[in-house]
């Protein structure tokens, strides 16, 4: 696709029309809950995470409480999200780091977030964009990974290089929305196994369209 930047702008414009209210689907009331929920969402649906976190946050509403929790009890609560032992280590490690290094507050910079247990770039971008309104990058989850390649916005396969490609194509002010918009479109229309090209707002220019 020759004019990839122009196509990227069109993608953003059409997704904004389709999903003007696109936002993070993880239920949370503060940056700490968002960070924990995002870690739990790895290899798990947001819907499942939202079924698990009410009990988790009721029992451990603060970083201090989670840092001092019984790991076996945390594992029991988050079991349904999969990889529950590793996720328990990550969220409890996150909580301890927030207590020890950040006075129980979630930091607001990329470097500080990436230094926390369980926080990779995708999670950091979610926290910065959703909790603090800071556009430091584009969230690249499984939906964004799939759609950005299908739409011809990148040929890359590594999430970090996909993110860099998207950041070059799209103005900073659209970075946060682009992640949300592609995720919503991936869930509602452009499914992994059977994309609904016949009702896709991007089908007329999508290089992968079967419409």
Q: Does residue 211 carry a pLDDT above 90? A: no
Those residues whose C-beta lies under 8 Å from the C-beta of residue 66, and which sit 6 or more positions away, are 36, 60, 74, 91, 92, 95
**Contacts for 42 with CB less than 8 Å, ≥ 6 apart:** 83, 87
CA neighbours closer than 13 Å in the CB half-sphere of residue 65: 11
**Would you say residue 157 has pLDDT above 90?**
yes
**Residues contacting 28, CB < 8 A, separation 6+:** 34, 37, 53
For residues 44 and 210, the model is more confident at 44
Average pLDDT over every residue of 148-153: 97
Q: Residue 207 pLDDT > 80, yes or no?
A: yes
Using DSSP, state whether 1 is helix, strand or coil: coil
Mean pLDDT of 131-147: 97
pLDDT of the residue at 144: 98
Distance (Å, whole) CA 32 – CA 27:
12
153 touches 11 (CB < 8 A): yes
| C-alpha radius of gyration, the chain, whole number | 18
pTM reported for the whole predicted model:
0.94
The fraction of the chain above a pLDDT of 90, given in percent, is 98
- Known catalytic residues are 122, 141
Q: Which domains does the chain have, with CATH numbers?
A: 4-22+138-199 (1.10.1670.10), 31-132 (1.10.340.30)
CB atoms within 10 A of CB 58: 9
Tell me the C-alpha distance between 75 and 52, whole Å: 11
- pLDDT at residue 210, as a whole number: 85
Residue-wise pLDDT for 60-110, tens only, equals 999 999 999 999 999 999 999 999 999 999 999 999 999 999 999 999 999
139 close to 182: Cβ distance less than 8 angstroms: no
For residue 130, pLDDT beyond 60 = yes
Q: What percent of the chain has pLDDT over 70?
A: 99
Handedness of CA 169, 8, 195, 44 (dihedral sign): positive
User: Alpha carbon 152 to chain centroid distance?
Assistant: 21
135, 175 contact by CB (below 8 A): yes
Question: Model confidence at 2, in pLDDT bands (50, 70, 90)?
Answer: low
């Amino acid at each position: 696709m020759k004019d990839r930047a122009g196509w990227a702008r069109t993608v953003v414009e059409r997704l904004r029309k389709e999903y003007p209210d696109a936002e993070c689907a993880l239920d949370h009331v503060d940056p700490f809950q968002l960070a924990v929920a995002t870690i739990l969402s790895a290899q798990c649906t947001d819907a499942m995470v939202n079924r698990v976190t009410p009990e988790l946050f009721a029992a451990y509403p603060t970083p201090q409480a989670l840092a001092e929790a019984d790991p076996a009890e945390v594992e029991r609560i988050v079991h349904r999200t999969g990889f529950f032992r590793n996720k328990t280590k990550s969220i409890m490690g996150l909580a301890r780091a927030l207590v020890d290094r950040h006075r129980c507050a979630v930091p607001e910079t990329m470097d500080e977030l990436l230094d926390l247990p369980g926080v990779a770039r995708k999670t950091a971008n979610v926290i910065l964009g959703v909790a603090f309104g800071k556009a430091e990058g584009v969230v690249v989850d499984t939906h964004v990974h799939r759609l950005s390649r299908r739409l011809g916005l990148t040929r890359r396969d590594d999430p970090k290089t996909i993110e860099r490609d998207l950041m070059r194509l799209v103005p900073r002010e659209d970075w946060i929305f682009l992640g949300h918009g592609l995720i919503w479109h991936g869930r509602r229309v452009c499914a992994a196994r059977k994309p609904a090209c016949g009702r896709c707002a991007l089908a007329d220019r999508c290089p992968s369209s079967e419409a």
